[in-house]
């Protein structure tokens, strides 16, 4: 796993400043502490930080083609590189290393932009081709590896693995994008391709961007699309194929020239990964587990049961992290505002794993591809009601009931009938947005100053949900919700959380359930196998029954997070009030401080559970102090033509 950065002159072959490129590369040092390199020539500079995993002796980057005309910086792993290398060797290409990086170079030379369709793995890379005078940026199918870019004055393209790399250049205007703020308070993250700053974007998953010197800048191009098309497979065959295909996805992710292990929470997905790793490696698989909060509520016993069953070498610790003490460090890790509180324990387990291994497998994405989230059940129920009730009756009746029903923020989701009734009154897109929204419209708008509300114009974050629901190309309501999450929540939240926290500890994390062939197969499995009688991940659980203890498969889903419902009260309320009344929050011009204080007072008195909203605001305060108002020194003479 690695960090990449670079500058490309779109119009001429100007001089790129070596020190500026070094600063960008240094900003992502944590992603690759084992080595680094840069390459400069007129009109381009590319840089790389290396976390050595495969081909430790000859895999250094930037890497070049035999004639030196093609240079690459690459972050990720290509699992089919040996097969591709053989195919390319048969076509006459000569390999000088045993690395997957060189395979990408020759794939580009042979197939051009279509090379990405050949790659099986996780990746973000930049290829500079001297003969074509082009820069080729590409990102993997699910967005496991990040890639930011910005076009400055229609002249220079800056790119990097993290936003901090671009900011280190001193060339990125720190103009906050109002729509991104509204997205953040709605979702808890900023969905791709948007970024917190105007003029800076994330390359979307399954897209590439080809920039050619002397030509106009085009839009990113998609190269892969997930389609949900159900087949007539039997439940028995689906179980057998699931285990076979997932086992293969695990197997190909065990290739490494460094120590390797796995995260183990004791839940369905991580238990499956340990079971299948043990099938290939035998006993002694290194597993890493974190217990959170009160010992009586810890998941460690479930993790220990799986580790014992497979003779795994378990490293486990019990932690009770203080989120207020951690938020500033997390803000520096994520660069953009990011409010998933489970990033706190994910950071902890990454640190733990890095004490013994360099690579860890995780069970992420099982909920998205096999319908594990409770919201899928509620969405299916609500969509059923919409189907049978005409709009002329549904909207006024359920809208009235929703307004009349008391708001029970403190209650479990199934008891919050106010939300369910209001969701049914909306159309499918509006209803699903309300389901995933962290801070609803009325509360969100109250938090903004009147001036900031005007900057939003007619924008609404529901547009993000609408875009993906409409492009999902399926008539199945569950599949539409899954597709939307795979395009938004998965890359924007889950994969961002894992990438940034693991790379902060220089740990590579691989996600077998996001093997694209496995996901393509899962999209052909009938929805009734995934969500059955209100039970999510039904097929996955049944398929894993011979491998995972029943109490792990069918226990109540707890998640991997700090509880915010009871947080920020007592002495913590005074701390968070001071932080949310900070100079940075006031100077941002975004928030109405009186409304924030009212939100906190409601939470303190137990009138409402505003814990999630307060954490979201606290992480924004961290972003303002650690990123937005931090001083970035302008590198001298980054390019000779900037004047």
End-to-end CA distance of the chain: 37
Q: Report the alpha-carbon distance of residue 610 to residue 580 in Å, rounded.
A: 14
Residue 4, both tokens: 């990449």
> Could you write out the DSSP letters of every residue in 170-183?
T-S---B-HHHHHH
Half-sphere exposure of 547 (CA within 13 A, CB side): 25
> Which of 329, 47, 325, 340 is CA-nearest to residue 169?
47
Q: Report the alpha-carbon distance of residue 371 to residue 376 in Å, rounded.
A: 6
> Could you write out the DSSP letters of every residue in 236-283?
HHHHHHHHHHHHHHHHHTT--SS-EEEE--SSHHHHHHHHHHHHHH-S
β-bridge partners, 23:
none
β-bridge partners, 149:
159, 201
Query: What's the DSSP call for residue 104?
Result: H
Residue 56, both tokens: 């430790």
State the pTM of this model.
0.93
Give the tens place of pLDDT for each residue, 125-162.
999 999 999 999 999 999 999 999 999 999 999 999 99
In the three-class reduction of DSSP (H, G, I as helix; E, B as strand; rest coil), residue 548 is classed as coil
The catalytic residue positions are 2
pLDDT value, residue 520: 98
Across the chain, how many H-helices and E-strands are there?
Answer: 29, 17
Long-range Cβ contacts of 588-596 (<8 Å, 24+ apart): 588/176, 588/624, 588/628, 589/449, 589/451, 589/452, 590/176, 590/181, 590/448, 590/449, 590/452, 591/447, 591/448, 591/449, 591/452, 591/617, 592/446, 592/447, 592/448, 592/449, 595/446, 595/447, 596/447
Q: Mind listing the domains of the chain with CATH numbers?
A: 2-176+186-222 (3.60.20.10), 235-371+487-553 (3.40.50.620), 374-484 (no CATH), 571-628 (no CATH)
pLDDT value, residue 548: 94
Q: Report the alpha-carbon distance of residue 390 to residue 400 in Å, rounded.
A: 16
The three-state (H, E, C) secondary structure of 363-382, written as one string? CCCHHHHHCCCHHHHHHHHH
pLDDT value, residue 389: 61
pLDDT value, residue 421: 56
Length of the chain: 643
Q: List the chain residues with pLDDT less than 50.
A: 394, 398-399, 401, 408, 410-419, 633-643
Q: Report the alpha-carbon distance of residue 344 to residue 348 in Å, rounded.
A: 6
Q: Report the alpha-carbon distance of residue 253 to residue 256 in Å, rounded.
A: 8
Helices 268-281 and 235-252 pack at an angle, to 10 degrees, of 60
In the three-class reduction of DSSP (H, G, I as helix; E, B as strand; rest coil), residue 107 is classed as helix
pLDDT value, residue 631: 73
pLDDT value, residue 90: 98
């Amino acid at each position: 796993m690695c960090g990449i950065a670079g500058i490309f002159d779109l119009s001429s072959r100007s001089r790129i400043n070596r020190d500026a490129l070094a600063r960008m590369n240094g900003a992502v040092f944590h992603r690759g502490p084992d080595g680094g390199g840069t390459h400069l020539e007129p009109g381009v500079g590319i840089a790389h930080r290396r976390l050595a995993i495969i081909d430790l002796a000859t895999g250094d980057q930037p890497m070049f083609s035999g004639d030196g005309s093609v240079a690459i910086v690459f972050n990720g792993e290509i699992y089919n590189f040996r097969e591709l290398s053989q195919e390319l060797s048969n076509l006459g290409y000569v390999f000088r290393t045993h690395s997957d990086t060189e395979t990408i170079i020759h794939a580009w030379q042979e197939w051009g932009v279509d090379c990405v369709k050949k790659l099986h793995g996780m990746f973000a890379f930049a290829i500079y081709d001297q003969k074509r005078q082009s820069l080729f940026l590409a990102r993997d199918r699910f967005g496991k590896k990040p890639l930011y870019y910005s076009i400055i004055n229609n002249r220079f393209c800056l790119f990097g693995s993290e936003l901090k790399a671009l900011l280190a250049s001193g060339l990125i205007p720190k103009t906050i994008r109002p729509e991104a703020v509204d997205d953040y308070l709605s979702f808890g993250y900023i969905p791709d391709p948007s970024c917190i700053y105007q003029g800076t974007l994330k390359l979307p998953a399954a897209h590439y961007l080809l920039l050619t010197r002397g030509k106009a800048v085009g839009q990113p191009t998609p190269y892969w699309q997930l389609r949900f098309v159900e087949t007539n497979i039997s439940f028995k065959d689906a179980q057998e194929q699931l285990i076979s295909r997932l086992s293969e996805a695990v197997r190909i992710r065990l290739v490494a020239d460094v120590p390797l292990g796995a995260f183990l929470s004791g839940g369905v997905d991580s238990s499956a990964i340990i079971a299948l790793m043990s099938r290939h490696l035998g006993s002694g698989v290194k597993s890493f587990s974190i217990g959170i909060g009160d010992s009586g509520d810890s998941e460690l016993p479930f993790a220990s049961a799986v580790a014992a069953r497979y003779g795994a070498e378990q490293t486990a610790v019990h932690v009770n992290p203080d989120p207020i003490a951690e938020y500033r460090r997390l803000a520096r890790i994520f660069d953009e505002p990011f409010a998933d509180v489970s990033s706190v324990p994910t950071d902890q387990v990454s640190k733990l794993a890095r004490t013994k291994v360099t690579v860890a497998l995780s069970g992420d994405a099982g909920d998205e591809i096999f319908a594990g989230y409770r919201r899928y059940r509620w969405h299916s129920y609500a969509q059923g009601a919409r189907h049978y009730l005409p709009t002329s009756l549904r909207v006024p009746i359920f809208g009235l009931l929703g307004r009349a029903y008391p708001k029970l923020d403190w209650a479990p989701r199934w008891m919050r009938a106010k939300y369910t009734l209001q969701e049914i009154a909306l159309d499918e897109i509006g209803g699903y947005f309300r389901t995933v929204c962290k801070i609803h419209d009325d509360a969100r708008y109250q938090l903004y100053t009147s001036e900031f509300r005007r900057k939003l114009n007619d924008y609404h974050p529901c547009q993000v949900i609408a875009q993906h629901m409409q492009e999902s190309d399926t008539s199945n309501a569950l599949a539409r919700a899954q597709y939307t999450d795979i395009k938004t929540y998965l890359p924007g939240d889950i994969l961002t959380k894992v990438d940034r926290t693991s790379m902060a500890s220089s740990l590579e994390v691989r996600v077998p359930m996001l093997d694209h062939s496995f996901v393509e197969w899962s999209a052909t499995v009938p929805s009734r196998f995934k969500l059955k009688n209100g039970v999510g991940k039904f097929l996955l659980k049944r398929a894993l029954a011979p491998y995972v203890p029943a109490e792990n498969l069918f226990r109540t889903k707890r998640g991997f997070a700090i509880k915010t419902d009871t947080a920020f009260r007592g002495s913590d309320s005074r701390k968070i009030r001071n932080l949310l009344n900070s100079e940075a929050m006031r100077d941002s011009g975004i928030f109405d401080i009186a409304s924030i204080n009212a939100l906190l007072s409601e939470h303190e008195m137990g009138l409402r559970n505003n814990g999630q909203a307060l954490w979201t605001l606290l992480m924004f305060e961290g972003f303002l102090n650690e990123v937005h108002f931090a001083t970035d020194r302008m590198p001298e003479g980054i390019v000779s033509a900037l004047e």
